[in-house]
Amino acid sequence: MVSRPLRMAYSCHDSFPSSDTNTQQIFWTITEVVRLGVEVDLRIPSVTVDGAANPRAAIAAYYGAPAGSMRDGFSIVPLGDRPPASWKDRGWYDWRAPHRLVAQSFDLIWTRDPLAAVACVQAGLPVVFETYRPDFATRTRFGWWRRACLGRPLLRGIVVHSRMAADAFTGAGWAEGRTLVAHNGFAPSLMEPRLDSVAARTSLGLPERDRLVVYAGHAGRAKGIETLIGLAAAVPAATFLLVGVDASSPEALWIQGLARRAGASNVRLVPRVKVADVAAYLYAADVLVIPPTDEPLRRYRRTVTPMKLFTYLAAGRPILAPRLPDVEEVLTDGETARLVSPDNMNDAAAALIALLSDAALQDHLSRSASAAAADYTWAERARRLVGFFERISGDSC
């Protein structure tokens, strides 16, 4: 443990700000870590706010952060003037990370980019690697990464987003004491003003009497959207609102095709909205939904605990989600959510119909979700991270 404040560099190959969920997670996590006294330089390829008089303030505003929330210890360091154009460009950026960092006196280099972690370890820099993916510990294709990093003293620690991912790294021989499970979170400021469903629907121009099932977030093929459209077809009495799908996007055309083929005329797409405007759609819902499938985990080898899960909890609305190991780390069936067998459409449809018709269960789940959300703020996550960073920063093992 060091006597002065920790000084860290965060290497990220994505430009800021961006609609990519990982950049929201990075921004809010660093903001709260810095609030606890750590100094963090965010090293990125470029800032994408054209013509902003104050790019720093523009980035904060993009992510819905209150004015003044970014403290002086949070430095944003763009190293170029344009975003990487391809994965090859991102890889080159990651590989060059040590060149930009080795002359600095950072206690830890923090990154979610696996190639940057390898490059920094090989350059003699102390690294903490963060990931939501258990497949870095298990898949043959990532054997090169494990050989380059796991077991190297300069890989000081690994931060994962689920116990399931932590267990995968332990199974690969990584020391359990050098892993931190730090679930993602939400920003309470983004949940204001709190609205009841009538006020939320009025503000959004949504019908007051519809039974509304809401999904908010990215709607790509790795998110289980096909199952969600199948559920909409099985429960035609409800309106399914997918928030964050621009009308002219490839995702919109794909989803519209799925809905036509499934006979799901009750699917509505809402274009992408500002981060600060998402909460109103959550408050408008009767039920918030995670697609009830294990496909993201089974097919894409990734966990399915998305950041939206934590804003769902904070919204205090009933949640329908698949019964999967990482989801069950956060949600409890019958307490904070209704969990259903993944890829069992009869089970999911019956559970949703029952939930929409049971006001007492809705009220119970809503109250329990609101209470549980207090454990999943970005501030709470930062508290756990800083304790971990302080412990591993002086670790020479």
- With tokens 């099932």, the residue in question is 213
Helix axis angle, 345-356 to 225-234, nearest 10°: 60
User: In which element (H, E) is residue 206 found?
Assistant: none
Whole-number pLDDT of residue 221: 78
- Which of these, 187, 198, 268, lies nearest to 232 by C-alpha position? 268
Return d(Cα 104, Cα 102) in angstroms, integer.
5
Query: Residue 53 has what pLDDT?
Result: 73
Cβ distance 259 to 267 under 8 Å? Answer: yes
Read off φ and ψ for residue 338, nearest 5 degrees: -110, 115
Tell me how far apart the alpha carbons of residues 390 and 13 are, in angstroms, rounded to a whole number. 25
Neighbours of 346 (CB within 10 A): 10
Structure letter (DSSP) for residue 111? E
Q: Would you state the pLDDT for residue 397?
A: 43
CA 384, 385, 387, 392 dihedral sign is: positive
Q: Looking at domain 7-185+377-393, does it have CATH number 3.10.129.10? A: no
pLDDT tens per residue across all 397 residues of the chain? 446 789 999 999 999 999 888 999 999 999 999 999 999 999 999 999 877 778 888 999 999 998 788 999 999 999 988 899 999 999 999 999 998 898 778 999 999 999 999 999 999 999 999 999 999 999 999 999 999 999 899 999 999 999 999 999 999 999 999 999 999 999 999 999 999 999 999 999 999 999 999 999 888 877 899 999 999 999 999 999 999 999 889 999 999 999 999 999 999 999 999 999 999 999 999 999 999 998 876 765 556 578 899 999 999 999 999 999 989 999 999 999 999 999 999 999 999 999 999 999 999 999 999 999 999 999 999 999 999 999 998 765 4
Evaluate whether 7-185+377-393 and 188-375 have a shared fold. Answer: yes
Q: What is the rounded CA–CA span in Å between residue 268 and residue 288?
A: 14
Q: DSSP for 149-175?
A: HTT-TTEEEEEESSHHHHHHHHHTT--
- The pLDDT of residue 241 is 98
What stretches of the chain adopt beta strand conformation (E)?
Answer: 7-11, 39-44, 74-78, 108-111, 127-131, 155-160, 179-181, 212-216, 239-243, 267-270, 287-289, 319-322, 338-340
Domain positions in the chain: 7-185+377-393, 188-375
The radius of gyration of the chain's CA atoms, rounded to the nearest angstrom, is 21
**Superfamily (CATH) of domain 188-375:** Glycogen Phosphorylase B; (3.40.50.2000)
Taking the C-alpha atoms of residue 376 and residue 366, their distance in angstroms, rounded to an integer, is: 16
Global pTM exceeds 0.95? no
Q: Which residues pair with 319 in a beta bridge?
A: 288
Alpha carbon distance 58, 64 (integer Å): 10
pLDDT of residue 301: 59
Size (the chain), residues: 397
Best CA proximity match to 135, nearest among 168, 175, 174 = 168
Greatest pairwise CA separation for the chain in angstroms:
64
The CB-based long-range contact list for 20-23 (8 Å cut-off, 24+ gap) reads 21/217, 21/218, 21/306, 21/307, 22/112
